[in-house]
Amino acid sequence: MTREAVTVLGLGAMGTALADAFLAAGHPTTVWNRSPARTEALASRGALRADTVAHALAAGRLVVACVLDYAALRELLAGNEEALAGKVLVNLASGSPEQARETAGWAAGCGFEYLDGAIMITPPGIGKPESMLLYSGSPEAFERHRGTLAALGDPLDLGPDAGLACLYDTALLGLMWSSLSGWLHGTALVGADGVPASTFTPVANRWLSGAVTGFLTRYAPQADAGDYPGDDASLNVHLAAMEHLLHASRARGIDTALPELFQRHAEQAIAAGHGADSYARLIEELTR
């Protein structure tokens, strides 16, 4: 079966992994990079090298770009707008929702379809079916090219608003940093009493993947409804436990900035009369 031809623009760590995944799935893959030397290794693995952006765009209908940022993308495509007419541009560079929406508007004005994407994995995860890539923008383009994009990992469609992939990306990265910093805080705490990180971490992972994800699922409808029955654990109970975390941290000389943030939000909500509510009530401390 003949696979769809793909063009990959940008061959940094991520772009190279993307091109390799398309090659591994049997797609004729044309590559271009600002510094041409980066095309050599891919050419030895079967990629077709394009000397110019225009030649790269002429190679197929689906164009996947993964350069540093949106400014770099617009710079490299400047003057090539006509060559993009009738094609689909999939931009996998990280950026803001506003930049994604602005780029979608530019694409519509130039007569080509646009998909914005967010890669929720590092390069070694590209090509694995369990890896998640988020897409938003043209629904027709997503449906038409879903099978080809699946070569990179599991493609999730977030709908026609091109800004949503970037918005989810930033929200999910924030969740990742919060989780990692929470884990590091816990690791420092138990480490002060001689427990190695590798001993603490399997327990932490079990806590996160079992109980904590369950709390998220339980609290999501509360956040949507703006109604936070504290019938599992009230903010009053949480605040008392936060004070134990602060005490244990201070006693071991561990930084308290993170638990102080939790404590401040809980104290504010309780002072406003919401002590009997669930933890989900704290979303209102973040949005007011």
Ligand X SMILES: NC(=O)c1ccc[n+]([C@@H]2O[C@H](COP(=O)([O-])OP(=O)(O)OC[C@H]3O[C@@H](n4cnc5c(N)ncnc54)[C@H](OP(=O)(O)O)[C@@H]3O)[C@@H](O)[C@H]2O)c1
Binding interface with ligand X (CB under 6 A): 10-15, 33-35, 38, 66-69, 72, 75-76, 93-94, 119, 122-123
Instruction: Find the shortest distance in angstroms from Cβ 96 to ligand X.
Output: 12
DSSP codes joined into one string, 217-279? HHHHHHHHHT--B-SS--HHHHHHHHHHHHHHHHHTT---HHHHHHHHHHHHHHHTT-TTB-G
Nearer Cβ to ligand X (15/230): 15
Nearer Cβ to ligand X (65/189): 65
Instruction: Find the shortest distance in angstroms from Cβ 139 to ligand X.
Output: 23
Strands 113-119 and 132-137: antiparallel
In the beta sheet, which residues pair with residue 240? Answer: none
Strands 132-137 and 62-65: unpaired
Nearer Cβ to ligand X (12/28): 12
Strands 113-119 and 48-49: unpaired
Distance between alpha carbon 124 and the CA centroid of its chain, in Å? Answer: 15
Count Cβ atoms below 10 Å from residue 282 Cβ, excluding itself: 21
Distance between alpha carbon 137 and the CA centroid of its chain, in Å? Answer: 16
Instruction: Find the shortest distance in angstroms from Cβ 128 to ligand X.
Output: 14
Nearer Cβ to ligand X (77/190): 77
Instruction: Find the shortest distance in angstroms from Cβ 84 to ligand X.
Output: 16
Nearer Cβ to ligand X (52/199): 52
Cβ-proximal residue to ligand X, closest one: 12
Instruction: Find the shortest distance in angstroms from Cβ 118 to ligand X.
Output: 7
